[in-house]
Structure 1
Amino acid sequence: MAILKDTQARNIKPEDKPKAHGGITGLSLHPSKTKGNGKWVLRYVSPVTSKRRNAGLGAYPSVSIAEAAREAAKMREQIEAGIDPLEEKAHKQKIQSIPTFEDAAKTLHKELLPSWKNAKHGQQWINTLTQYVFPFIGSTPLDKIEPRHIAEALRPIWLDKAETANRTKQRIHAVMAWGWAHGYCTSNPVDVVEHLLPKQESKATRTEHHPAMPWQKIPKFVKEHVALNNKSDVTRSLLEFVILTACRSGEARGARWSEIDWKTKTWIIPSDRMKAKTSHRVPLSDRALEILNLQLGLHKELIFPSRRARKELSDMVLTSFLRRVNAPSNTIDRIATAHGFRSSFRDWCSENGYPRDLAERSLAHAIQNQVEAAYHRTDLLEQRRPLMQAWSDFVTCKNITNQEKTLN
Structure 2
Amino acid sequence: MPNLTALQVKNAGPGRHADGRGLYLLVRESGSRSWVFRCQVDGKRQDLGLGPVSKLSLAQARAEAATLRIRIQNGEPWRSEKTMTAETTPTFAAAARACHTAIKGGWSNQRHAASWLISLEQHVFPVFGELPVHLVASPIVREALAPIWLKIPETARRILQRIGTVLDFAHIQGWRPDEVTLRSVARALPRQPVEDSHYAAMPYIEVPVLVATLHRLSATAGRDALLFTILNAVRSGETRLATWPEIDFEARTWTIPACRMKMKRRHIVPLSLAAVAILNRRHSVRATDDGLIFSNHGTRPLSDMTMSKVLRDLGHSKITVHGFRSSFTDWAAERTRTPKEIVDKALAHKLADRVEAAYRRTDFLDRRRNLMRAWATFAFSSLQSE
Which category of TM-score, normalised to the shorter sequence, fits these structures? 0.5 to 0.7
- Displacement of 1:368 in angstroms is 5.1
Partner residue, 1:366: 350
Task: Report deviation, 1:128.
Answer: 2.3
Structure 1 152/349 Cα, relative in aligned 2: closer, same or farther at 3 Å?
A: same
TM-score (norm 1): 0.63
Shift of residue 241 of structure 1? 0.7
Give the equivalent residue in structure 2 for 1:226: 215
- Look up the SS of the partner of 2:289 in the other structure: coil
**Who is 1:319 aligned against?**
308
Runs of 5+ consecutive residues of structure 1 not aligned to the other structure: 1-45, 51-80, 329-333
TM-score w.r.t. structure 2 length? 0.66
**CA deviations over 1:357-396 (Å, ceiling 9, x no partner):** 3333322333456676566565544442222121112112
Residues 155-187 of structure 1, C-alpha deviations (whole Å, 9 max, x = no match): 444445321221112222332343344343365
Query: Which residue number corresponds to residue 16 of structure 1?
Result: none
Deviation at 1:49, TM superposition (A): 7.0
Contact 2:292–2:300 (CA<8 Å) still a contact in 1? no
Q: Which residue of 1 is the match for residue 3 of structure 2? A: none
Q: Identify which range, 99-108 or 158-167, moves more after superposition.
A: 158-167
Alpha carbons of structure 1 residues 96 and 394: separation in structure 2 relative to 1, 3 Å:
same
> Is 2:254–2:269's contact at 8 Å kept on the other side of the alignment?
yes
Moved more, 370-379 or 215-224: 370-379
Counterpart in the other structure of 1:216: 205
Q: Which residue of 2 aligns with 1:108?
A: 99
Aligned to 1:285: 272
Could you say what secondary structure the match of 1:267 adopts? strand
1:193-342 correspondence to structure 2 within 5 Å:
193=184, 196-197=187-188, 200=191, 205-207=194-196, 209-226=198-215, 233-297=220-284, 298=286, 299-307=288-296, 311-326=300-315, 328=316, 334-342=317-325
User: CA shift at 1:252, angstroms?
Assistant: 0.5
Name the structure 2 match of 1:140: 131
Tell me how far apart the structure 2 counterparts of residues 154 and 374 of structure 1 sit (CA, whole Å).
46
> Paired residue for 1:394, among 371, 378, 381?
378
Asked if 2 retains the 8 angstrom alpha-carbon contact of 1:283 and 1:381, the reply is yes
Confirm whether residue 384 of structure 1 aligns to residue 356 of structure 2: no
**1:309 Cα offset (Å):** 7.6
- CA–CA separation in structure 1 for the residues paired with 2:271 and 2:89: 56
Tell me the percent identity.
Answer: 35
Q: Counterpart of 1:348 in structure 2: which amino acid?
A: W
Number of equivalenced pairs = 311
Considering Cα pairs closer than 8 Å and 6+ residues apart, tell me whether 1 or 2 has the greater RCO. 2
Cross-structure match for 1:15 = none
Deviation at 1:131, TM superposition (A): 3.2
Match of 1:10 in 2: none
Q: Find the partner of 1:168 among 159, 180, 187.
A: 159
Report the residue type matching 1:352 in the other structure: R
CA pair 111-296 structure 1, distance change in 2 beyond 3 A: farther
Change (3 A) 1:220 1:384: same
In the aligned structure 2, how far is the partner of 1:183 from the partner of 1:378?
Answer: 54
AA matched with 1:306:
S
Residue 188 (structure 1) shift: 4.6
Displacement of 1:242 in angstroms is 0.7
Equivalent pair of 1:219/1:394 in contact (CA under 8 Å) = yes
Q: Alpha carbons of 1:172 and 1:375: their partners in 2 closer, same or farther (altered >3 Å)? A: farther
How far did 1:194 drift? Answer: 5.7
Would the alpha carbon gap of residues 276 and 187 (structure 1) be closer, same or farther in structure 2, given more than 3 Å must change?
Answer: farther
Match of 1:355 in 2: 339
CA distance in structure 1 between the aligned counterparts of 2:355 and 2:145, rounded to whole angstroms = 38
Distance 1:259 1:112, change over 3 A: farther
